[in-house]
Amino acid sequence: MDTLHDYGTGEAPKPPRSFPADPRPKWHVEPTTLDDLLERAGPYADATRTHVEWGAVECWLMKGSASAALEAAGLHSGAAINAVFHTRAAEEQEAGWPCLSGRAVTPVLYDLPADLQCKVRGMAAEVRSLWEANGRPHFNAPRFKDAHRYLVACVRKGTIPPVLTIGEVPPNIF
């Protein structure tokens, strides 16, 4: 029956299905794209982008898949890893990435002389450009989810104030 009228049959009319055949929600609880992550991060979007991108660069270096690109560029892998590690810590702090413990830690890069800081940041930028030229490996949904979970943990712990775009975060019951 297409309408709700029974036309004298005595049968109760059957309403049409008002919900889709696939009842799963059409949105993701956790972000699966960078745009979704940055939208949810709200005022921490720039810091989140910095954290996720440098984390992917570090992962690319640590897994050893960057060795051919580093050799072609004439960079020593140990120096490249150290440069990326120290630059990441400094840029995350400069961008305002929250620290879950709430303790401010001064990055080691700031303890170096100014000319050496420039060299370290330059090497890290060169490694990052190699990473981009290789297709930005390890820049994927699991990394976005981890960054989102970290922000949620910071809200739960009280390190950062609640951000409406991060979503409803229940109080920590543990």
Query: How confident is the model at residue 19, as a pLDDT?
Result: 61
Domain contains 18: no
Listed residue (100, 105, 103) closest to 155, CA to CA: 100
C-alpha closest to that of 138 among 43, 27, 34: 34
The total of structural domains in the chain comes to 1
Residue 26 lies in a domain: no
CB 151 within 8 Å of CB 31: no
Asked if residue 136 is part of any domain, the answer here is yes
- pLDDT tens digits, 50-98: 999 999 999 999 998 999 999 999 999 999 999 999 999 999 999 999 9
Domain that holds residue 139: 44-164
Instruction: Note whether 51 and 144 are within 8 A (CB).
Output: no
Which amino acid is located at 115 in the chain? D
The pLDDT of residue 103: 84
Instruction: Read off the pTM.
Output: 0.79
